[in-house]
Homo-oligomer: A and B are copies of this chain.
C-alpha cells in the first residue's frame, strides 16, 4: 500500500531517535546536504517555515521599536581581538579569508561567527550624544562557526539567525531590554511554535563570551533532551570600553554606553521537528506551517470533483489560509501519507458524495478525529481545526515537559533519574563552578538555566552538599 511505503521510509523514533530525526528532515524536504560538511541547503519547505518564524519575530521586534540593519560579513582579525573574553570564545571556531581575488590580504578576515565587534565598531562612530540613544538594531543574516560535530538545524557550520544589538544610556534600560527580548522569544516559542519554555539565567560557565549576564529559553524535545532555543545577553559597559562607545549625557558628561545582544536561529526548526514530530513524520504548528490546509480530491477523475476542489482552494485563499490543492495524479493514499510526513496541520478530503451533500471531511494531523463539515461553515471550521492543532501540539509538549521534570537531592540521584527516565532535573546548586563541572564531566549533565520561577526543591547543593538557595534546571542538551 502506498501509505505504508511512504511511512516505512523513516525509522521509528523509539528505535533510534537520532536516525528518525535525520530521516524526517530529509524526507519532509526541509534540508539537503551540500558538498561541504556542516553547510546545508534549506529547501523551499524548510525555508518557508523560517520565513514564517521571521515574520512573527520581526513584527515583534519592530513593535518594540527595533530597526533592521545589515553589517559586513567579514571581521578583520584586529577588530575581533578587541574584547578579550569575546575573542577567546570565538577565535578557535571561525573561518578565515586570506585571499581576495588574486592578492593575499595584509590582514586575515574572519567570516562573522556573531557580530558584536562590527556593531560596536559602527556604534563607536555614530553614537555621540544622549540624543542618539538608544539604538535598537537587529540583523537577519547567516553566521559561521567551524563546529566539529554537525547536524541538520541543530549544529551547522553556517546557520541563519537574527542578532539584536542595542546600546543604551543606562544600565536599567539595557537590563530591561535584555529581559524584554527574552520575553519576545518565549512568546514566539510558546504561542507560535507551540514549544513550552523555561525562562532563566545562565550560569557563569554557560554564559556568552563577553557578557555579564546571559538569559535563555530552554525547551524539552520529545526524547526529553534539552534544546537552548534563544539567548539574550546583558553586556554592561565591557564592549563599550573596549570599543570606546561613549556619549555626552544631558549634564554634558561623557559616559560609556550599556549594551545588549540577543539571538535565535534556524535551530528553532530543529526544535519544532523534535518537539512535535512522530512516527508518521513532521507535525507543524499551524501558525508557522507553510501549508496549513491541504486539499485532496477523492475520485478526481469524476466530473465536477476537480472544479469543486479548485473553488475551495480559492475560497480558503480569500480567507487568508495558507492552502494547497494536490491535483497530481498520485493516489489519495499516497497523498495522505505525503502530507502527514510533511506535517500539514489539516487535510481536507472531498469526493463526489461530499460534493453532492455540500460537505467535506477535515482530518487534523494530531489531536483529533476526522470530522464531516458543512461547506457553509468551512472558514469557521477550518479556523477551529487549526486552533485545535496548535493547542494540541502545545499541550502534548507541555505534558512531556511536566512528566519528565524531576527533582533530586544528589548528583547520583539526578544521574540515575536521567539514566532511567530522561528529562530535566530541578535541584539546588551552591554556585560553584567545580560542582557544575563535576556533573558535566561525570554524567554529561549540564545546567540549562537558573529559572526565574524558583522553587525550594531542597536545601543543599546536589554535588557538594553545602547549603544552597538557588534552584537550577539540569539536563542533557543538544
B73 touches A144 (CB 8 A): yes
Query: A171 at interface (Cβ–Cβ under 8 A)?
Result: no
Q: Which residues of B contact A102 (CB under 8 A)?
A: 92
Q: What 1/0 flags go to A40-75 for Cβ under 8 Å of B?
A: 111110011011000000000000000111111110
B73 touches A131 (CB 8 A): no
Q: Which of A346-381 contact B (CB under 8 A)?
A: none
Q: Which residues of B contact A34 (CB under 8 A)?
A: 71-72, 118, 121-122
Query: A126 at interface (Cβ–Cβ under 8 A)?
Result: yes
A97 touches B100 (CB 8 A): no
Q: Which of A115-164 contact B (CB under 8 A)?
A: 118, 121-122, 125-126, 131, 137, 141-142, 144, 146, 157-158, 160
Query: A96 at interface (Cβ–Cβ under 8 A)?
Result: yes
- Could you tell me how many residues of chain A have their Cβ less than 8 Å away from some Cβ of chain B? 53
Q: What 1/0 flags go to A86-113 for Cβ under 8 Å of B?
A: 0000001111111111110000010100
Query: A32 at interface (Cβ–Cβ under 8 A)?
Result: yes
- Residue of B39, B48, B68, B137 near A74 (CB, 8 A) is B39
A41 touches B93 (CB 8 A): no
Main secondary structure of the interface of A (DSSP, over half): mixed
B100 touches A99 (CB 8 A): no
Q: Which residues of B contact A328 (CB under 8 A)?
A: 131
Q: How far is the CB of A158 from chain B (nearest CB, A)?
A: 6
A40 to B41, CA, bound (A): 27
Q: Which residues of B contact A67 (CB under 8 A)?
A: 44, 47-48
Q: With A35-B76, A51-B68, A70-B42 in contact, is A99–B109 under 8 Å at CB?
A: no
Q: How far is the CB of A271 from chain B (nearest CB, A)?
A: 18
A94 to B101, CA, bound (A): 5
Q: With A34-B121, A73-B144 in contact, is A99–B96 under 8 Å at CB?
A: yes
Q: With A95-B97, A99-B96, A101-B146 in contact, is A72–B158 under 8 Å at CB?
A: yes
Q: Which residues of B contact A109 (CB under 8 A)?
A: 36, 95
B79 touches A35 (CB 8 A): yes
A72 touches B32 (CB 8 A): no
Q: With A118-B34, A131-B328, A158-B74 in contact, is A69–B93 under 8 Å at CB?
A: no
A35 to B75, CA, bound (A): 8
- Interface residue ranges, A against B (CB under 8 Å): 32, 34-36, 39-44, 47-48, 50-51, 67-74, 76, 79, 92-103, 109, 111, 118, 121-122, 125-126, 131, 137, 141-142, 144, 146, 157-158, 160, 328
